Chains A and B, each alone.
Chain A
Amino acid sequence: MLKKISVKLIFVVSITSILIIGIYSYFNVKSQSEVLLSEVERHAHQLSETVKNSTRFDMLFNQRDRIQEIITTIGKDKEINAVRILNKEGMITYSSHQNDIGHMLDKNAESCYVCHAEDQPISKLEIKDRTRIYKPTDDSPRIMGVINPIQNEPSCYEAPCHAHSSESTILGVLDVTILLDDVDEQLRANTVREIIFAVVSITAIGLLIGFFVAHWINRPVKELVNATNQVALGNFNYSIDKLGNDELGILGDSFNKMTKKLEEMRQQIFQSDKMASLGQLAAGVAHEINNPLTGVLTYSSYLLKRTKDNPEMQEDLQVIVRETMRSREIVKGLLDFARQSAPKKNKINVNEVIERAFKVVTNQLKIKQITLNTELEKDLPNIVADANQIQQVMLNLLLNAIDAIDKKEGIITISTSEISLSPKGITHIKHAVCPKNHSLLDPEYKLEGNSTIKLKVNANGTEGFINLDPIYGRNKNYFGITVSNKSTVELSCPQCGISLINSGKRCPDCGGPVYRIPIPQKGFLEGCASFKDNWQEWDFVDREGNKKFIEIKITDNGCGIARENLNKIFDPFFSTKGQKGNGLGLSVIWGIMDNHNGTIGVTSEVNVGTTFTLRLPEY
């Protein structure tokens, strides 16, 4: 039971509220009882003073019957237990209970004890000390008694009865006792009320906490556990619904990101597996085809040499030789594809590559009656790229465009131009080290396929890691720990711990500290180390100024791509062509563009058309 977080939490909160409410209730009951008793005490004392004053006149004239009458009348009150007057010797001279008159009281009797506890009787007492609470028997109600000593004064000993001498200080004691059963009843009711309040409020707090814990913790945790189990079972497509904005919500989002990454990696592995087996297949096929091709090639070349006097045959044989040579090139291309080698980059003219791609699809364009417009910029500078791969890209995009057009008056437009872009937001930091030359690149955590820059961070004593976006100026950083705006951040190399803070510089935007990371042979990357803003500076590339790109745009007026599919089209195996396509085209294109440090983007509107924009850097 106690293993569940929610139960633990409810338990702790309940114990705390029991303690707090219990202590509060206890002191509340206690103070209420004190207030009530002191009220009764005051009341009793007042009563005893009233009795004393109202009998004073009759005392002086020794009217004993009248005194007894007054006391009996007062003593009839329900709340009053007894009103008695005792003389100096301890004899009850008057009492509301007639039977008590004439009884002698011992000095140890509860009404005498207060003054006569000492050998020498006390003649003066504070009100508080004249009060006593006692129980005559165990089952009788509590009784409060107030004694009121009757002081000697000249009018007493000068009275005509001469009952008192002038020497005595105390003539007797007026004793009033009051039943406390009403007060006790009230106190009991109060206590019961307090207990009910305490129990109800503790239960309410428990239930409330229980409800919110279930809502805020139990449900998300259960969902997370469920999701982890799903991933453990191999379901990488499981996605957690938004769990809220708290830490568990963030955890849920990170979890979704993680499964997405895992799924991508699995797809990559799947794809490279597929490529590897494709490669083996291609190599096998190449071997099988190359042997018969050797036969065709040598026999036809042999015949060509033997039939020099037969021009008609020469012409036909030349076709065989030429076509066999072409087959040889195709097989070689297949092997190159299977090897998936690094691009063979040469200086190429993008316009020429595009024109070569056109020739391949001319026939298809004619069949579908599609008009092709070209706006190729003359004098386009050559770039270093793999002509075959770029042609593959153009061909794939052209075929996609042709597939997308299913109406008459289809138009495909291709344009090329030279553009110039600021290095910020596009320059990829491919290498970064600490001052001791340890590489800071983290291939474990990639951002859009690029290794990030991993830094050790210490924010207010908490240690963790930050992964910086490897695209200069883009700042899609990943924080392994929470860095609040007030944190003081210390950044260092994860391997040797050397500080990466440039103490001589402050961030021009927020005045905070600045990190400085050496980029081998390319100066230093600097940026705001408190991460309050996105200030970053890489002097080396900034000084080079804008970077030049060849931009290629391919626009069609076909069916377009639905908005919800736009960000998925570069994912491997995503396809809208059903059985017709295998979904590899655009992801392969993305890979080729990335390999060339280029980019590919897409804009599209359903039933209006699609534009792909490609940028290849000039070196």
Chain B
Amino acid sequence: MKNKFDILAVDDEQVIIDSIIKIAKLDNLTIDTALDAQTALAKLNDNDYNVILSDVMMPGMDGFQFLQELAARKIQTPVIITTGYSAVENAVKALYEGAIAFIPKPFSIDELESTLRRGLRYNQVIQKANESEGDFFLVSCPSKYFRLGFSSWLAEEFDSTAKIGTTDIYMKLIESIKEIELLNVDDTLTQGAECAKFVSEDGLSHNIYSAISGRILEVNERLISNPKLLEKDPYFEGWIYRILPSDLEYEKKLLISCSSDRL
């Protein structure tokens, strides 16, 4: 019989591991730890985990190689990547490689709690959608869209502007949205940097990372009065910003094409 833990924390710094253990205990979550990716892979053979929290810079195998190895072994456990190199490039790369979320170090307790909450729910949501008979399903993103992990999507418009929004699965991981905080027109977005904050009914706040860089031309005003629109129609009526992309062709290559999700 395999042991079951909520979290597997992988980091080469003991103080980080200890911090994560403390936070997990606050929330009554069970936790197992590994000081490098090789140990983590060995532990994954023996035990079951609901979510993995991994650093990037580690001796031996780094966080990105760890993600690739998990995909190769077809391990479905959702991974949250965290790193001290909190450059936006790392966030984009981590989400491209299959991480479901990214938290820059140093993180506060609230940031880690809300991200862990989404990670823990991920497998439940997938499972519920697979088992339910049509009353609960995940809407995958339209084929011409591109996405940054599950955080945000990009849709090119005909007038060389682009719309961005968030994915259905992200909304289901939050569970129930209460209020949103958006940027203003003329503000600048950077790919992989925070662009919106969603507060859920349980009081946690969740960051959305922008799929591309550019200047905000228009904010979807309907969302402010009715955040639930994001849950009802996240891909069309529930768009967040219309923007003027600054380097669309290059940045698109760093995103996952939604048409590949349907294969």
Contact = CB atoms under 8 A, between A and B. Distances in A.
Given A291-B13, A291-B16, A335-B86, A298 B22 contact: yes
Interface in B35-55: none
Interface in A311-353: 321, 324-325, 328, 332, 335, 339, 341-342, 344-347
Nearest to A328: B106
Interface in B64-120: 83-87, 104-110, 112
A302 B26 contact: yes
Contacts of B246: 342
Contacts of A339: 87
Interface stretch (A48-56, A280-288, A457-465): A280-288
B187 interface: yes
A295 B84 CA distance: 12
Contacts of B104: 290
A301 B83 CA distance: 19
Give chain A's interface secondary structure class: helix
B81 to A, nearest CB: 14
B187 A290 contact: no
B186 A297 contact: no
Interface string A271-315: 000000000000100111111111111110110010000000000
B263 interface: no
A301 B106 contact: no
Contacts of B16: 291, 294-295
Contact of A346 (B84, B106, B107, B186): B186
Contacts of B186: 345-347, 384
Contact of B84 (A286, A324, A341): A286
B105 A293 contact: yes
Interface in A497-513: none
Nearest to A298: B19
Contacts of A297: 19, 106-109
Given A291-B15, A346-B188, A298 B109 contact: yes
A346 B13 CA distance: 38
A283 B106 contact: no
Nearest to A294: B106
Contact of B187 (A283, A286, A291, A346): A346
A131 to B, nearest CB: 105
Given A283-B85, A295-B15, A290 B105 contact: yes
Interface string B1-18: 000000000000101101
A325 B188 contact: no
Interface size classification for chain A: 20 to 34
B22 A291 contact: no
Nearest to A283: B85
A290 B106 contact: yes
A109 B190 CA distance: 124
A564 B104 CA distance: 50
Interface string A466-491: 00000000000000000000000000
A610 B184 CA distance: 39
A332 B84 CA distance: 10
Contacts of B188: 344-346
Interface string B166-187: 0000000000000000001011
A291 B105 contact: yes
A221 to B, nearest CB: 50
Nearest to A324: B106
Contacts of B105: 290-291, 293-294
Interface in A121-168: none
Contacts of A341: 190
A287 B190 contact: no
Nearest to B13: A291
B219 interface: no
Contacts of B190: 341, 344
Contacts of A305: 26, 109
B23 interface: yes
> Which of B13, B105, B106, B246 has most chain A Cβ within 10 Å?
B106
B107 A299 contact: no
Contacts of B86: 286, 290, 332, 335
Contacts of B217: none
A344 B189 CA distance: 8
B34 interface: no
Given A298-B23, A335-B87, A344-B190, A293 B109 contact: no
Nearest to A347: B186
A299 B106 CA distance: 12
A565 B108 CA distance: 50
Contacts of A344: 188, 190
Contacts of A293: 105-106
A345 B216 CA distance: 11
B19 A295 contact: yes
B201 to A, nearest CB: 21
A319 to B, nearest CB: 15
Nearest to B105: A290
A299 B187 contact: no
A328 B20 CA distance: 18
A461 B99 CA distance: 66
Contacts of A287: 57, 83-85
Nearest to B185: A347
- Top 10 nearest A-B pairs (CB, nearest first) are A290-B84, A298-B19, A295-B15, A287-B84, A294-B106, A293-B106, A301-B109, A290-B105, A297-B106, A294-B105
6 contacts: A283-B85, A287-B84, A295-B15, A298-B107, A302-B22, A347-B186
Interface of A: 283, 286-299, 301-302, 305, 321, 324-325, 328, 332, 335, 339, 341-342, 344-347, 384
Given A298-B108, A345-B186, 13 more contacts: A287-B83, A287-B85, A290-B106, A291-B84, A293-B106, A294-B16, A295-B19, A297-B108, A298-B107, A301-B110, A305-B26, A325-B108, A347-B186
